Structure 1
C-alpha cells in the first residue's frame, strides 16, 4: 500500500471518529487513541470560544495524572505556560525544550517531576475565532528529527481534526451553529462594515444611496440576528464571527 494511501486511510478513520463523537468522553477517547498510535502516552486538548467576550466557553480535556492536574491548577501555571502563549499568537507547531521554558523554570521542573518530559503542541483557529491547542506528551524518548519527518503531517492534521471535532460537539450541544444562525444579507453586512468604520447612519445612507431609515432598518435586523443590544455590539460580534 502506498504511503499516500496509508495516510488517507489514517485521516479518514480519525476524521470519522473525532467529528462524529457525541460526548466529550467519546471525543477524547478517539483523540487519545490517535495520540497513542503516534507514540504519545499523554494527550491534552484545550479550546476557548471567542464569544461571549465576557465569559467565553472553555473546554479542557487531558489524561494527565490527577496530581499534575491539581498542581498545574494550584500553581496557576496556565498564566506562565509558554506553550499556551505561543499557541495564542501562532499556529506553528513547537517541541518542548529547555529554551522554550527558560522563563518558566518552576513549571518545566514540576512537569518533569510528574513524568512529563517530552512534548509537542500546535494550535488551531476556526472562522468563528475559537482557538484550540493539542498537546502530545510522554515521559521519555526525545522527539527526534526523524520522528518529526515521519509523523509531523499526522500530528498537524490531528490538531486540525481535534479542533473541528470539538467545535462540532459544542455546536451540537448548543443545538445551533452560532455562525450559521447569524446569517446576514449582503446589505446588512455592507451597512455594518461602514458602521465599523465609524460612519453614522446618515453617512452610510449617503454612501449606499439609501435613506437613513433604511440603514437603521438593516441595523435593527442585524441586532436581532446577532443577539446584540446595540450597533457597536453588533459590529464587534459580526467581526468576531467572520461575517464582515
Structure 2
C-alpha cells in the first residue's frame, strides 16, 4: 500500500492526497535551469495544496544547508514563505530571521510541534516570549512546524490554519508534503541565492577564485600549486570548497558555473 494511502481517509484528507499527487507531478515536470521561474511555480502549486488543506500561511526554510553554510549566512532567499511581509520584516529587523526558537527546535526535533506548545515550554526565555507574542500580533496563530531531516541538512515547513480556532489536521500528510517540497525546492533556492545581486562576488573566497581561474585557464593542480605557492593538497582543498559552494558535480562544472555567474577571469 502506498504511503499516501495510509495517512487519512476523511473527505478533506482524500482531497489533500489528490492535491499532493498533483503537486508531485507538477514539480517533476517543471523546466530545469530557470530557477526563479521554478520557485514561483512551486510556490503556486504549494499554495493551492495548502489552501485545500485549510491553511492560511506557510513558511519553508532551510535551517542548516548541506552546502557551505558561511556562503549563505544572512541570505533571506533560502526560503519560500507566504507569511505577512510585516512579520518577516519585524523578524529580520529584530534578529529573529534564522535565529529564533522555531528554527532551533526544528533542528533538535524530528516530529511536528505546535508553536503554542513551544511558547509554553519552561525552556524558553524572555527573548523567545517576545517572538511568540509578536507572531500572535501579526496573525500567526495555531502554527505547526514540520521538521525535515536529511544527512547534513535540516529544513522545516510551518503552516498556519485559516481559522483562528482551527487546527492543523492531516499531520502525516503535511509532513510527507514537507519532504516532497524540500526535494523540489532546495536546489532552485540555492541557485537563486547564489545569483542574487550582491552575493556573486562574496560567494567564493579569494583563494577559491584563484584556484578556479587557474583551472579555467588550463593549469594542472601542480602548476596552480606553483603559481600560488601553496601545496597541491591546499589546491584540492580550495577546489572542493568552490565545488561545494557552487553545487557542482565536477571541476569543469564548477568552472562553467563560476564563469556564468561572472566570478572568473579567463585569459
Answer whether TM exceeds 0.5 for this pair: yes
Deviations 1:102-159 (A, max 9, x none): 43111111111111111011121334x232210101461242xxx63xx112111111
Tell me how far apart the structure 1 counterparts of residues 98 and 150 of structure 2 sit (CA, whole Å). Answer: 23
1:187 match: none
Q: How far did residue 79 of structure 1 move?
A: 5.6
Unaligned runs of 5+ in 1: 175-218, 238-244
Q: Pick the aligned partner of 1:134 from 139, 154, 157.
A: 157
Tell me how far apart the structure 2 counterparts of residues 125 and 62 of structure 1 sit (CA, whole Å). Answer: 19
Q: How far did residue 13 of structure 1 move?
A: 1.3
SS in structure 1 opposite 2:143?
strand
2:72 match: 56
Q: Pick the aligned partner of 1:112 from 136, 154, 157.
A: 136
Relative to structure 1, is the Cα distance of residues 20 and 168 closer, same or farther in structure 2, using a 3 angstrom cutoff? Answer: farther
Tell me how far apart the structure 1 counterparts of residues 186 and 172 of structure 2 sit (CA, whole Å). Answer: 21
Q: Pick the aligned partner of 1:39 from 48, 54, 71.
A: 54
RMSD over aligned CA atoms reads: 3.4
TM-score, length-scaled by structure 1: 0.61
1:77 match: 96
Tell me how far apart the structure 1 counterparts of residues 98 and 59 of structure 2 sit (CA, whole Å). Answer: 17
Q: How far did residue 91 of structure 1 move?
A: 2.1
Q: Contact between 2:146 and 2:158, CA under 8 Å: does it hold in 1?
A: yes
Deviations 1:20-64 (A, max 9, x none): 445211111111222211111101111242222431375122112
Q: Contact between 1:19 and 1:161, CA under 8 Å: does it hold in 2?
A: no
Q: Pick the aligned partner of 2:147 from 120, 123, 147.
A: 123
1:29 aligns with 2:44: yes
Q: How far did residue 10 of structure 1 move?
A: 3.9
SS in structure 2 opposite 1:54?
helix
Relative to structure 1, is the Cα distance of residues 33 and 70 closer, same or farther in structure 2, using a 3 angstrom cutoff? Answer: same
Tell me how far apart the structure 1 counterparts of residues 133 and 185 of structure 2 sit (CA, whole Å). Answer: 31
**How many residues are treated as equivalent by the alignment?**
178
Q: Contact between 2:20 and 2:49, CA under 8 Å: does it hold in 1?
A: no
TM-score, length-scaled by structure 2: 0.56
Tell me how far apart the structure 2 counterparts of residues 20 and 99 of structure 1 sit (CA, whole Å). Answer: 43
SS in structure 2 opposite 1:117?
coil
1:158-169 → structure 2 map (5 Å cutoff):
158-169=177-188
Relative to structure 1, is the Cα distance of residues 121 and 66 closer, same or farther in structure 2, using a 3 angstrom cutoff? Answer: same
